[in-house]
């Protein structure tokens, strides 16, 4: 009888042991290959296959408990598969190693919601082990999940945004995944870097040594890019392939070895740097998926191509992978993308190509040309009149303690610009009905004549709300369509942000007819403007050709105008222990016309970025431009001819201001001028 009881107890214990004992260790790659369902893209609904993206296997396995790697950094381009790697690491942790939990950080609320909607939630729903273990959001008990906190047996996944100091300071997790880490704010509510906050929350796991941190991001601006700096601090691993000609290892990189024609079908191919073997686009994927025999072999037999180019004691693994090796983007698409970007000559697009296609940080330009050179290249078109070529008209105003600086800018479809009016409206700025604001109201109602005797009204009108803010808001209320603008620091800012309500009642509700303000991303706009200022016209015999983005200036503009346009420069500084690039004002310089120009470019950006040739042709027709000039390809600037019997245009008031006058105005405003940051 006792024996039977003992046997029964043994059987029960054996059964319980089978239930509670951990299963044999399985790597994150093995788990994902057996379980993970791809949520989107061309393989949506299929099981994840490591053979498709063998380059994510090593960093994915680094996320597992069997790896000795604590921290890793991945500098990447878009469309490379590392978002799926992050989800695979999350899934493996939930199913196989839940203790300690996970924190996954996205840069913004929009980015987090998109990640949840398009990737994580569909993965949880379609991947059986995750569907079984992650508590549904509909659960009524405290054990249920929420939209941003996924509960499962033994732990939870916290999904947070990098601009929430409360979340970053209150969550402690053993595993940290920072997605698009270079997009996080440099300083959060005056409390320091989000990266430092995240690191501080993981200090309790330092002693045990089992903490994990994965940083993933496309790079941004050279000199202040988090992922670029961290990549260089690591051992700098690149995915190598073996040359089909001689067997030597090399990395596919955008440069002189990647060759293509400037037109369709581009004939994109790669010339091996070792022996000159030509590699066609259709051969790329097989070489990438095979990796390199010169890389360390893996125990599981999967291909490996990662070779550290800067190894050293104490360095963590840092990886670079870009579109040229991606199986999702053919070389012909890379070539076409670069040809188009180069033709448009837009620094913002060049930066995007470096970041999203090459996976590299971009060196922003900050060297303004000498103002005297700009003064010497002025053109002989009349003040207040629109030459042939522009299709868009914007007005920007910069308010000071006394007086308002204004610039009226005409824009062509290819980002060429013509200053047609620039002046200082003298007078007090404390009363919306008097002084400089009364003069600004006159400018609001003004029309501008072109060379075909058509009268134009401005398309956009913006006014700086950084000074005399309440007066500016009242002025915009009285002039529907006028935009109150405020400059915003940072390289990740969009040119013109969405409108934010500034008039709300005591309950926080928007007031009918209230004012709105829009943030202007001044830093990248300034860099792009200075790059355009450096462009030169070319002469072929008697014809003059202007490149896209060229800035035209009339002979009516004086030296002070050009001094202000070129008043700032880009400089390096250390902020909270990390380097960054910032705009600084030159000694004894004023920058009000530069501020106006940056606001004008922000106002025009949406048109220039989204309008097609057909849109511009329609605008040309509405402007009354002769039919033979309505095709955008024919919008080259032509000689200006005033309409018959048209009176001579007035001379701009700014042209009469002497150096002493400008010095007096500068002194009046000194100490209260809030130039764009």
Superfamily of segment(s) 25-240+308-332: P-loop containing nucleotide triphosphate hydrolases (3.40.50.300)
pLDDT tens-digit map of 537-558:
888 777 888 999 999 999 999 9
Residue 168, SS3 per DSSP: helix
Q: How far is CA 98 from CA 121, 128, 152, 155, 612, in A?
A: 18, 16, 8, 5, 51
CA 337 to CA 358: how far, in whole Å?
11
CB 586 within 8 A of CB 569: yes
**pTM to 2 decimal places:** 0.78
CA 535 to CA 242: how far, in whole Å?
42
Question: Helix, strand, coil: what percent of the chain each, to 5?
Answer: 35, 20, 45
- pLDDT classification of 230: cutoffs 50, 70, 90: very high
Q: Beta strands of 79-206 (E only): which ranges? A: 102-106, 149-152, 155-161, 175-179
CB 553 within 8 A of CB 419: yes
Dihedral, 156, 161, 164, 167 alpha carbons, nearest 10? 10
As a whole-number percent, the residues of the chain with pLDDT over 90 amount to 64
pLDDT of residue 294: 97
Question: Domain ranges in the chain?
Answer: 25-240+308-332, 371-637
Question: Fold identical between 25-240+308-332 and 371-637?
Answer: no
| CA neighbor of 158 nearest in space, from 106, 206, 123, 92 | 106
- Reported as type and span, the H/E element at residue 616 is helix 613-623
pLDDT of residue 629: 63
- Reported as type and span, the H/E element at residue 551 is strand 551-553
Quickly count: other Cβ atoms within 10 Å of residue 90's Cβ.
Answer: 24
pLDDT tens-digit map of 561-606:
999 999 998 888 887 677 788 888 988 889 999 999 999 999 999 9
Asked if residue 119 has pLDDT above 60, the reply is: yes
* Span of 134-138, 609-613, 633-637, 640-644 with lowest mean pLDDT: 640-644
Asked if residue 339 has pLDDT above 50, the reply is: yes
Quickly count: other Cβ atoms within 10 Å of residue 262's Cβ.
Answer: 10
pLDDT tens-digit map of 56-87:
999 999 999 999 999 999 999 998 999 999 99
Q: Residue 504 carries which DSSP code?
A: B
- Reported as type and span, the H/E element at residue 438 is helix 435-445
pLDDT tens-digit map of 255-280:
999 999 999 999 999 999 999 999 99
> Beta 155-161 vs 102-106: how paired, if at all?
parallel
Q: Which residues in 46-66 are b (16+ Cβ under 10 Å) and which e?
A: eebebebbbbbbbbbbbbbbe
CATH for the stretch 371-637 = 3.30.420.240
CA 544 to CA 638: how far, in whole Å?
10
CB 306 within 8 A of CB 238: yes
> Beta 237-239 vs 241-242: how paired, if at all?
unpaired
CB 145 within 8 A of CB 136: yes
């Amino acid at each position: 009888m006792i024996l039977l009881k003992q046997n029964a107890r043994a059987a029960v214990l054996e059964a319980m042991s089978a239930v509670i004992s951990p299963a044999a260790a399985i790597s994150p790659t093995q788990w994902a290959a057996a379980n993970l369902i791809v949520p989107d893209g061309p393989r949506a609904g299929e099981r994840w296959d490591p053979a498709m993206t063998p380059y994510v296997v090593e960093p994915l396995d680094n996320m597992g408990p069997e790896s000795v790697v604590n921290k890793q950094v991945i500098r990447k381009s878009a469309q490379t598969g590392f978002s799926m790697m992050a989800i695979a690491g999350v899934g493996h942790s939930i199913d196989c190693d839940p203790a300690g939990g996970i924190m996954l950080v996205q840069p913004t609320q929009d980015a987090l919601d998109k990640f949840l909607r398009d990737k994580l939630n569909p993965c949880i729903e379609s991947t059986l082990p995750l569907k079984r273990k992650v508590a549904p959001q509909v659960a009524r008990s405290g054990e249920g999940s929420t939209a941003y906190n996924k509960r499962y047996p033994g732990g939870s996944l916290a999904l947070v945004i990098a601009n929430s100091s409360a979340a970053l300071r209150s969550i402690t997790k053993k595993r940290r995944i920072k997605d698009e880490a270079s997009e996080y704010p440099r300083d959060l509510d005056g409390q320091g870097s989000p990266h430092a906050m995240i690191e501080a929350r993981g200090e309790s796991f330092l002693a045990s040594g089992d903490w994990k941190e994965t940083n993933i991001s496309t790079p941004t601006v050279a000199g202040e890019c988090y992922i670029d700096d961290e990549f260089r601090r690591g051992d700098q691993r690149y995915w190598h392939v073996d040359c089909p000609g001689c067997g030597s290892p090399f990395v596919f990189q955008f440069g002189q070895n990647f060759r293509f024609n400037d037109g369709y079908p581009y004939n994109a191919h790669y010339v091996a740097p070792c022996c000159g073997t030509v590699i066609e686009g259709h051969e790329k994927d097989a070489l990438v998926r095979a990796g390199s025999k010169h890389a360390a072999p893996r125990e599981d037999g999967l291909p490996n191509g990662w070779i550290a180019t800067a190894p050293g004691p104490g360095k963590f693994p840092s990886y670079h992978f870009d579109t040229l090796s991606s199986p999702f983007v053919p070389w012909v698409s890379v070539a076409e993308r670069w040809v188009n970007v180069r033709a448009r000559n837009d620094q913002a697009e060049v930066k995007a190509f470096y970041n999203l296609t090459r996976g590299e940080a971009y060196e922003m330009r900050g060297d303004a040309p000498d103002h005297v050179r700009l003064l010497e290249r002025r053109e002989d078109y009349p003040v207040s009149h629109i030459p042939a070529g522009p299709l868009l008209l914007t007005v920007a105003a910069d308010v000071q303690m006394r007086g308002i600086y204004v610039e009226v800018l005409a824009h062509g479809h290819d980002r060429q610009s013509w200053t047609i009016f620039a002046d200082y409206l003298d007078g007090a700025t404390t009363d919306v009905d008097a002084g400089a604001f009364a003069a600004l109201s006159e400018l609001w109602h003004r029309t501008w004549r072109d060379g075909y005797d058509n009268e134009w009204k401005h398309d956009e009108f913006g006014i700086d709300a950084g000074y005399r803010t309440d007066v500016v808001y009242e002025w915009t209320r009285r002039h529907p369509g006028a935009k109150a603008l405020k400059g915003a620091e940072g390289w990740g800012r969009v040119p013109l942000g969405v409108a934010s309500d500034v008039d709300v009642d005591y309950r926080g509700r928007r007031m009918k007819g209230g004012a709105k303000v829009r943030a202007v991303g001044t830093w990248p706009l300034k860099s792009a403007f200075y790059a355009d200022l450096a462009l030169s016209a070319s002469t072929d015999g008697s014809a003059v050709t202007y490149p896209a983005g060229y800035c035209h200036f009339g002979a009516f503009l004086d030296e002070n105008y050009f001094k202000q346009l070129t008043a700032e420069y880009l400089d390096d500084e250390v902020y909270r222990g990390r380097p960054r690039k910032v705009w600084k004002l030159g000694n004894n310089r004023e920058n009000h016309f530069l501020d106006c120009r940056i606001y004008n470019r922000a106002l025009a950006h949406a048109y220039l970025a989204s309008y097609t040739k057909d849109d511009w042709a329609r605008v040309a027709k509405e402007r009354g431009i002769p039919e033979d000039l309505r095709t955008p390809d024919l919008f080259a600037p032509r000689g200006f001819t005033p309409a018959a019997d048209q009176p001579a245009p007035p001379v701009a008031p700014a042209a009469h201001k002497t150096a002493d006058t400008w010095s007096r105005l500068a002194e009046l405003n000194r100490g209260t001028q809030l130039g764009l940051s």
